[in-house]
Structure 1
Amino acid sequence: MDMRAVAESLIAGDHVSTWELRDAGPDDFPELREIRRTGSPALRNAARALLFAVGGPEALGEYDLGLVRRLIRSKLAVEVPVAMRSCEYWFAIPTTDQAAVLDAFGLSDAEPVTMSLGTEIWNQHYDSGHQRCARVYVSPALDGWTLVFGRPSDDQHPADITEESSWSIEPREQYQAMLANEKVYRGVESARCVELSRRFSAAHLYFRSHGDSMTSWCIAEKGELVRFYDVAVPEESVGELAAENGYLLPHEDTPLPEGWADDIEHTENPLDWQREWVRRHRRLKAELGIPDHCDADTIAEALSVHPGKIGPHTRVEGHGVIALTRCGREYGHPRTLLTGLAYTPPPERPSVFDEDRT
């Protein structure tokens, strides 16, 4: 693979993903290390990022690894919390004892990271294989809560899960197998929260999909399951929370009059219909006093710390770490292309829901 060309693409600002590096490996290390020795400053920085992406920290060598660690330490001293985006799935534990959290999740090889860098790494956990279960980001204590982004390996690979490769080719049977796996994961997640709550007095687990309306939350206290809710299976709900009062649950329909949108005119521009639908929906909700829907973000903000709302106002103790799970210890660091040590949340995408609130 022409690693110099890839490095030049990084310098030019072109998008390069770890998927595009799938054919790269140890055979490319000599070329990258040569670039590190003889290239321009920009090329040397790009080569360092590619070495980390392809081979993990071990591929950097002692000098570069020490350089990165020193840079992280310097940034930790002056870091200001930045709201996270695309967090989707996280635990919230009411403790400042990070070492105890690492032990409870079976994590090791912890490396200090800034919150910005931890976020950048976490946002690259979607690839296949063991990318999702090899590494976990553990935050510093935020207003007394430690947030954990990722699952322990045992939770990612429970015994009762059936691998997709063993599923029938018949669509209905595939769907049933998928539902069965999801039920297993729900049981594992609830059991994990209960187990953690015995050790830390409480444990929360939140999920909020940014691609659709899927959301769930699980709250355990002192070894008891206090609340479980998943929009996909509201019939399996356990308990209720005061924080849900005044909201509709995600699966509940908004009780608007029948036919309330039937007379909205369809024009050549579909956005015209959508804008009018949004305006009328909001107006009717206000007139009829219909509450908003809650989701995991709502509940997390009310009960613990919501990652998307942290900022300069957040009290921070300690520093975050990236740590390996059992899968990480066995298979190594997943491929992660770090283009910098500073993270800026992407701008919110424009939406018809934000254009006009009349």
Structure 2
Amino acid sequence: MDMRTAAETLAAGERFSAWDMADAGPDDLPELREIRRTGKPALRNAARALLFALGGPEALGEYDLALVRRLIRVRLLDDVPVPMRGCEFWYAIPTADQAAVLDAFGLSDAEPVTMSLGTEIWNQHYLGAPGHQRCARVYVSPALDGWTLVFGEPSDDQHPAGITDERSWSIEPREQYQAMLANEKAHREVRRARCVELSRRFGAAQLYFRSHGDSMTSWCIAEKGELVRLYDVSAPEESVGELTAENGYLLPHEDTPLPEGWADDIPHTEDPLDWQREFVRRYRRLKAELGIPDHCDADTIAEALSVHPAKIGPHTRVEGNGVIALTRCGREYGHPRTLLRRLTYLPAPEQPSIFGEDQT
């Protein structure tokens, strides 16, 4: 797709994403700048979005960059926290010293953003071209009820020693699985060390992971240079310590102690949802009757100990403003592909689920 067609598609409101720009690059910037200079208003706005997507803030040019920065400054005056969904991985640091946080994570080239825009940019960090798309940029929140949240991590933590490239793995499934486990273990060790080091500098540090695609979850809590709690559902044998916030819950890897065969007599019908709905109703009813607690996860612990991104809102006390900043990978390889259709973000509506139906 050439850049004029891309701009026309975007201006028309048709489906278009960062994936559609996989083959685009620096050679396409002059054409976009020409469209930006001579096109009709809607096309010019689309060209500006594509310029940012391909080259980051520096690709916009002095005029457009000043325009965007001025607009952001105005919107920061009455910025309101927006609940963040899909934020799978984040650090929580008990400080409002954003400069110190940026330094601790090795971040630079910080650009102020509203919380809405920061969320929009972060939600696209996994889209677009391969390579360093996911590790080039980090979103750092303003201080939220005294906690600064960091979405992302330093380049060194994302590419630690001992990690093997997936392209080098054997085609044999068992060997692939072993390589994946080894990589995951290396990441756990690096992130645990990072959390402890941050706690030496800021008094405390917390790290949370909650996958929205499966049951993977973990949390790491450190205080004054000491590891207080480490839990990962994929490696419960490596757990360290325990938390009061976990009291009254089952840990994610623990089975729910229901009677054997409790779901065996649920009939199967032509509609598989019938079986699922009855399974959920019976599961909830038995849990209540037997007094079996719920499972906790990173969301549960974060809400209890610091700030859960999905629970921030107008009630949240805000100090300062958020920024997007580059990691070492970002400084070396440039901004990742980010297609901003607007400078605001609204969380996607909750999808209906059988788990939200009648619980009787």
Give yes or no for the alignment of 1:83 onto 2:83.
yes
Offset from partner CA, 1:280-317 (integer Å, 9 cap, x none): 11111111111110000000000000000000000000
Instruction: Tell me the CA shift for residue 126 of structure 1.
Output: 1.2
CA RMSD of aligned residues (A): 0.9
Correspondence list, 1:199-348, <5 A? 199-348=201-350
Distance 2:5 2:170 in 1: 43
Correspondence list, 1:49-60, <5 A? 49-60=49-60
2:166 to 145, 164, 167: 164
Instruction: Tell me the CA shift for residue 244 of structure 1.
Output: 0.2
Q: Which residue of 1 aligns with 2:355?
A: 353
Offset from partner CA, 1:315-354 (integer Å, 9 cap, x none): 0000000001111111111111111110000011111001
Q: Which residue of 1 aligns with 2:45?
A: 45
Correspondence list, 1:113-132, <5 A? 113-127=113-127, 128-132=130-134
Q: Which residue of 2 aligns with 1:36?
A: 36
Q: Which residue of 1 aligns with 2:20?
A: 20
2:200 to 198, 201, 207: 198
TM-score (norm: length of structure 1):
0.98
Distance 1:323 1:26 in 2: 21
Distance 1:349 1:11 in 2: 28
Offset from partner CA, 1:86-136 (integer Å, 9 cap, x none): 100000000010000000001111000000111111011114311111110
Distance 2:123 2:296 in 1: 24
Distance 1:133 1:30 in 2: 27
The answer for unaligned runs of 5 or more in structure 2 is none
Distance 2:33 2:184 in 1: 44
The answer for unaligned runs of 5 or more in structure 1 is none
- What amino acid is aligned across from residue 215 of structure 1 in structure 2? T
Secondary structure at the residue paired with 1:353?
helix
Distance 2:155 2:287 in 1: 44
Distance 2:60 2:72 in 1: 15
Correspondence list, 1:144-163, <5 A? 144-163=146-165
- What amino acid is aligned across from residue 270 of structure 2 in structure 1? E
Q: Which residue of 1 aligns with 2:97?
A: 97
Distance 2:170 2:276 in 1: 40
Q: Which residue of 1 aligns with 2:69?
A: 69
Secondary structure at the residue paired with 1:227?
strand
**Identity fraction in percent:** 84
Distance 2:359 2:8 in 1: 45
Secondary structure at the residue paired with 2:61?
helix
- What amino acid is aligned across from residue 102 of structure 2 in structure 1? L
Bigger CA drift: 319-328 or 16-25? 16-25
- What amino acid is aligned across from residue 299 of structure 1 in structure 2? I
Question: How many matched pairs?
Answer: 358
Secondary structure at the residue paired with 1:261?
coil
Q: Which residue of 1 aligns with 2:135?
A: 133
Secondary structure at the residue paired with 2:227?
strand
Distance 1:264 1:323 in 2: 53
Distance 1:212 1:350 in 2: 17
Offset from partner CA, 1:166-193 (integer Å, 9 cap, x none): 2222111111111011111000010000
Q: Which residue of 1 aligns with 2:5?
A: 5
Bigger CA drift: 346-355 or 120-129? 120-129
Distance 2:230 2:314 in 1: 32
Bigger CA drift: 164-173 or 207-216? 164-173
Runs (4+) of structure 1 exceeding 3 A deviation are none
Distance 2:11 2:84 in 1: 25
Offset from partner CA, 1:58-100 (integer Å, 9 cap, x none): 2110000000000100110011111001100000000010000
Distance 1:258 1:271 in 2: 23
Distance 1:162 1:148 in 2: 26
